[in-house]
Amino acid sequence: MLNKDQIAQRIAQELQDGWYVNLGIGIPTLIANHIPEGINVEFQSENGILGMGPFPYEGEEDADLINAGKQTITALPGAAYFDSATSFAMIRGQHIQLTVLGAMEVADNGDIANWKIPCKMVKGMGGAMDLVASAENIIVAMMHTNRKGQSKLLRQCTLPLTGVKCVKKIVTNLAVLEVTSEGFKLLERAPGVSVETIKAATEGRLIIDENVREMNI
Partner 1 sequence: MALNKVVENVQAALEGVENNMTFMLGGFGLCGIPENAIKELVRRGITGLTCISNNAGVDDFGLGLLLQGKQIKKMISSYVGENKEFERQMLSGELEVDLVPQGSLAERCRAAGAGIPAFYTPAGYGTEVAEGKEVRIFDGKPHILEMAFQADFAFVKAWKGDTAGNLIFKATAKNFNPMMAMAGKITVAEVEELVPAGALDPNQIHTTGVFVQRIFQGTDYEKRIERITTRPKV
Closest of 153, 149, 148, 155 to residue 175, by C-alpha:
153
Stretch that binds partner 1, among 7-15, 129-137, 169-177, 185-193 (CB under 8 A): 129-137
- Are 45 and 67 in contact by the 8 Å Cβ rule? The answer is yes
Q: Rounded to the nearest whole angstrom, what is the least distance from the CB of residue 99 to partner 1 in the complex?
A: 12
CA distance from start to end of the chain: 11
**Is the torsion defined by CA of 120, 26, 43, 101 positive or negative?**
negative
CB 31 to partner 1: min, Å: 16
Q: Write out the binding residues for partner 1, residues 144-173 only, by CB under 8 A.
A: 160-164
Output the smallest distance, CB 100 to partner 1, in A.
17
12 binds partner 1 (CB under 8 A): no
Task: Examine residue 56 and tell whether it contacts partner 1 (CB under 8 A).
Answer: yes
The yes or no reply on residue 114 touching partner 1 (CB under 8 A) is no
Give the residue, chosen from 5, 16, 95, 191, that forms a contact with partner 1 under the rule CB under 8 A.
95
Instruction: Count residues near partner 1 (CB under 8 A).
Output: 73
Among 3, 5, 36, 80, binds partner 1 (CB under 8 A): 80
Span interacting with partner 1, options 68-76, 138-146, 178-186, 209-217, rule CB under 8 A: 68-76
- CB-CB neighbours of 145 under 10 Å: 18
How distant, in Å, are the alpha carbons of 150, 176, 181, 212 from that of 189? 19, 6, 21, 7
Catalytic residue among 46, 105, 188, 203: 46
Angle in degrees, CA 99, 89, 23, rounded to 5: 20
Beta-ladder partners of 146: none
